[in-house]
């Protein structure tokens, strides 16, 4: 996998945020944030709690609207589009606070992600004809493969809500992958995992990137993990982007050391 340089131009970027702001009443959750994500890179977003990272994901995925600025995807503006449209354009996401379909099985959760691959002619479906059953069988097979990829094949029939925390996080990734995204937004995918699980997750994200030609935007608090995982990082603090660059340059950025890393550095 070819990793683009930090100087790559905005024109070639997959996702470009230009001066994006988001205001909640008196709170400016995002303040003129600009950044570009290049195809194929793993782009990290770090910053203290309340910095606006999740808000940024919400704006990109259509869950919220920016109050100013524009979000460009490939070559069109997507701000203001509803979340289902944005997903169809190739942006998949997970949620920091786990939003699985709790009562449904793991398999069904992934099948729901495969909604748009599950299109079938109405009449054979209603009559339960062989052609429909066959296509459903293939669909289940694909869902099972995705579950296997995140190491959840054994729990395919269990309700999603009954899984341990770490497994639920991986199920969210499988469900998002099922929607065939080109860009995957991962909101604290390692939260609640132990150090070994975190390492495995990091390897999984790299594997998924090369297997599905993915671009990944990831939020995570564990800084050493992010330093080794990400090609580039942006640092948010109080809604502002205070640094952007390779892990090495971010690590030595005085503003970052003061605002965020200062504690541990």
Ligand X SMILES: Nc1ncnc2c1ncn2[C@@H]1O[C@H](COP(=O)(O)OP(=O)(O)O)[C@@H](O)[C@H]1O
Minimum gap (Å) between residue 98 Cβ and ligand X: 14
Between 188 and 253, name the residue whose CB sits nearer to other proteins.
188
Q: Which does 175 bind (CB under 5 to 8 A by kind): ligand X, other proteins, Mg ion, none?
A: other proteins
- Which residues here bind ligand X, judged by CB under 6 A? 24, 27, 29, 47, 49-55
- Which residues here bind other proteins, judged by CB under 8 A? 61-63, 82-84, 87-88, 92-93, 95, 99-104, 108, 111-113, 115-116, 118-120, 125-126, 128, 136, 175-176, 178-179
Minimum gap (Å) between residue 153 Cβ and ligand X: 32
Minimum gap (Å) between residue 192 Cβ and ligand X: 15
Q: Which does 8 bind (CB under 5 to 8 A by kind): other proteins, Mg ion, ligand X, none?
A: none
Site residues for Mg ion, 93-152, by CB under 5 A, read: 96
Q: Are 20 and 29 in contact (CB under 8 A)?
A: no
CA 100 vs CA 175, 208, 222, 264: distances in Å: 9, 20, 24, 34
Between 126 and 263, name the residue whose CB sits nearer to other proteins.
126
Q: Which does 93 bind (CB under 5 to 8 A by kind): ligand X, other proteins, Mg ion, none?
A: other proteins
CB-CB neighbours of 95 under 10 Å: 19
* Rg (alpha carbons) of the chain, rounded to whole number: 19
Provide the 3-class DSSP secondary structure of residue 35.
strand
In this structure, the strands spanning 76-77 and 68-73 are antiparallel
Between 35 and 100, name the residue whose CB sits nearer to other proteins.
100
Residue 88 is classified by DSSP as H
Q: Which does 120 bind (CB under 5 to 8 A by kind): other proteins, ligand X, Mg ion, none?
A: other proteins
Longest CA–CA span in the chain (Å) reads 67
Q: Which does 55 bind (CB under 5 to 8 A by kind): ligand X, other proteins, Mg ion, none?
A: ligand X
| 11: nearest Cα among 72, 70, 69, 61 | 72
Between 70 and 96, name the residue whose CB sits nearer to ligand X.
96
Between 5 and 141, name the residue whose CB sits nearer to other proteins.
141
Number of helices (H) and strands (E), helices first, in the chain? 10, 10
Q: Which does 51 bind (CB under 5 to 8 A by kind): Mg ion, other proteins, ligand X, none?
A: ligand X
Minimum gap (Å) between residue 135 Cβ and other proteins: 10
Name residue, tokens 């995807």. 73
Q: Are 30 and 9 in contact (CB under 8 A)?
A: no
List Cβ neighbours of 105 (8 Å cut-off, separation of 6 or more).
156, 157, 158, 159, 160
């Amino acid at each position: 996998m070819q990793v683009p340089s930090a100087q790559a131009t905005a024109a070639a970027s997959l996702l470009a945020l230009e001066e994006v702001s988001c205001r909640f009443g008196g709170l400016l959750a995002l303040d003129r944030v600009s950044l570009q994500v290049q195809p194929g890179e793993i782009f990290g977003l770090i910053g203290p709690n309340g910095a606006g990272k999740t808000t940024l994901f919400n704006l990109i995925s259509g869950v919220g609207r920016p109050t100013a600025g524009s979000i460009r995807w490939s070559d069109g503006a997507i701000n203001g589009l509803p979340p289902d449209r944005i997903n169809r354009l190739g942006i998949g996401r997970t949620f920091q606070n786990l939003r699985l379909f709790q009562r449904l099985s793991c398999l069904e959760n992934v099948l729901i992600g495969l909604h748009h691959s599950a299109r079938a002619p109405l009449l054979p479906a209603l009559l339960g004809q062989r052609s429909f059953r066959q296509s459903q069988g293939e669909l289940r097979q694909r869902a099972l493969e995705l579950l296997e990829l995140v190491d959840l094949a054994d729990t395919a029939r269990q309700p999603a809500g009954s899984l341990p925390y770490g497994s639920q996080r991986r199920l969210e990734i499988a469900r998002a992958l099922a929607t065939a995204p080109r860009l995957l937004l991962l909101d604290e995918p390692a939260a609640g995992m132990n150090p070994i699980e975190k390492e495995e997750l990091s390897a999984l994200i790299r594997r998924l990137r090369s297997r599905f030609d993915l671009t990944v935007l990831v939020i995570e608090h564990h800084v050493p993990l992010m330093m080794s995982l990400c090609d580039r990082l942006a640092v948010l603090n109080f809604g502002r982007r205070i640094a952007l660059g390779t892990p090495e340059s971010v690590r030595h950025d005085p503003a970052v050391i003061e605002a965020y890393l200062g504690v541990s550095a």
